[in-house]
Amino acid sequence: AEEGGEAAAVEEAAAVAVAAADEGAIRCIVQNDDMNLGKWPLYKTQWRGAGVAVPVFGLRSQEGMGVGEFLDLKAMADWCAKSKMKILQLLPVTDTTTHWDERDSYPYSSISVFALHPLYLRIQSIKNIPADIKAE
């Protein structure tokens, strides 16, 4: 169907619904989030959307060190947008270093809600890092 034809059909259906509402037959119009008729009482449908949950360590690029990095999130966000996904959820990325051993790898035992784990930094992108450290 052509876009203009669709719009006319929507307007006609809306006019019928408003006429019925004026006669007391209905109290509201249920509408899709993508359509805005603007003039009539509306019942907003519950939001729906697809998304993906991903651990940062699962995002690996050729620029990275092989452990997944915060900058790899840009490519993932771009992919989500192209796929029409609405949500990109990350597993915890906060620093968990407290014991300096294998117990620190548990992502739900954060030392702070503000401390991002330094493991996910891309060293090459940090300014003022000495060249010998970047080379490592």
Structural domain count, the chain: 2
Predicted pLDDT at 1: 44
- Can you tell me whether residue 86 is helix, strand or coil? coil
* CB-count burial class (<10 Å; 0-12, 13-18, 19+) for 3: exposed
Query: For 44, phi and psi rounded to 5 degrees?
Result: -75, 125
Asked if residue 63 and residue 30 are part of one domain, the reply reads no
Which phi and psi (to 5°) does residue 133 adopt?
Answer: -75, -40
Instruction: Indicate whether 66 and 123 sit together in one domain.
Output: yes
Confidence of residue 117 (pLDDT cuts 50, 70, 90): confident
pTM of the shown model = 0.55
pLDDT digits (tens, 9 = 90+) for 58-106: 888 888 788 888 888 888 999 999 998 888 888 888 887 888 888 777 7
- Same-domain status, 28 and 83: no
Question: Which two tokens mark 2?
Answer: 């052509």
Give the ranges where the chain is alpha helix by DSSP (H). 3-22, 73-82, 131-135
Domain identity same for 127 and 75: yes
Domain membership of residue 30 as a residue range:
3-44
